[in-house]
A and B are shown apart, each in its own frame.
Chain A
Amino acid sequence: MSYEVRDDSGYAVVELTGDVDLSASPEARSAILGCLAQARNVLVDLSRVTYIDSSGVASLVEGYQTAKKGRLRFGLIGVSEAALSVLKLARLDKVFPIHATINERIRADG
């Protein structure tokens, strides 16, 4: 897995690429929580995720909960089919704010 962080429209967009499994999720978790620790709103871009397991999903849950505690905005964008099927299995697809694109998210923010 690799990741990139970019600033876009008031969000730190954390784009994950590849397989987010037990070997990669500590890095994903660190990237997400690192942005939140800087009091940045975070969107995790999952469009290039080819596989995600429970450890990867746990990183997203931690991000979601940390953002909530810190009154920061958090969400997922461009969720790939592979990632969406796992989020559905975890019954988290209705928990995370999910949008197709960052523009869609910004419109939803009002």
Chain B
Amino acid sequence: MTGQRILKVKFPADPRILRKVREHVRAACERGGCCEQVVSQIVLAVNEACSNIIRHAYKGSSTGEIILEIFNNGRELEFHLRDFAEPVDLTSIGPRDPREIKPGGLGTLFIREIMDDCAYGHVQGKAGNFLHMKKRIA
């Protein structure tokens, strides 16, 4: 049960649009009743997910599109991200070891640390990949 949809945005896979996306996510989470700390963490996780799509699924090309939907069922917020890129190698997605000091893999680490659940996959029968993330709010 995903609950009531509280946000749907479609935007180009362009890093310059991320600030606007963060504003949309922040506003939706505040409407959903999250406290400031949780809102900031969610904004970071969704930003990281979008950044990963831009960098790894679209490989930096800004011609692709991303759809973000947020659902609220009163107990948790659910975030659905979808792209239209070539299927990514799902086995290549993983956080870095937090004990390692290296630049890569931080985005996935943030998502895993912040969200209560996340699942990656390929959109069946169509081009693209999805990421579903859940965050408990009550």
Contact = CB atoms under 8 A, between A and B. Distances in A.
Interface of A: 19, 21-23, 51, 53-55, 57-59, 61-62, 64-65, 82, 85-86, 89-92, 95
Interface residues of B, number: 25
A27 B114 CA distance: 27
Contact of B109 (A23, A64, A90): A90
A82 B107 CA distance: 16
B99 to A, nearest CB: 8
A59 B107 CA distance: 13
Interface string B71-112: 000000000000000000000000000110111101101100
Nearest to A57: B106
Nearest to A65: B101
Given A51-B22, A57-B106, A58-B106, A21 B51 contact: yes
Contacts of B98: 90-91
A61 B98 CA distance: 13
Interface of B: 15-16, 18-19, 22, 40-41, 44, 47-48, 51, 54-55, 98-99, 101-104, 106-107, 109-110, 113-114
A-B complex: 9 closest residue pairs judged by Cβ atoms: A58-B103, A54-B106, A23-B15, A22-B15, A54-B107, A61-B103, A22-B51, A23-B16, A91-B98
A55 B51 contact: yes
A57 B55 CA distance: 16
A61 B47 contact: no
A12 B40 CA distance: 31
A23 B18 contact: yes
Contacts of B113: 89
Nearest to B106: A54
A23 B98 CA distance: 25
B101 A89 contact: no
A95 B103 CA distance: 13
B15 A19 contact: no
A61 B107 contact: no
Contacts of A58: 103-104, 106
A19 B19 contact: yes
A42 B14 CA distance: 31
Contacts of B107: 53-55
A53 B49 CA distance: 11
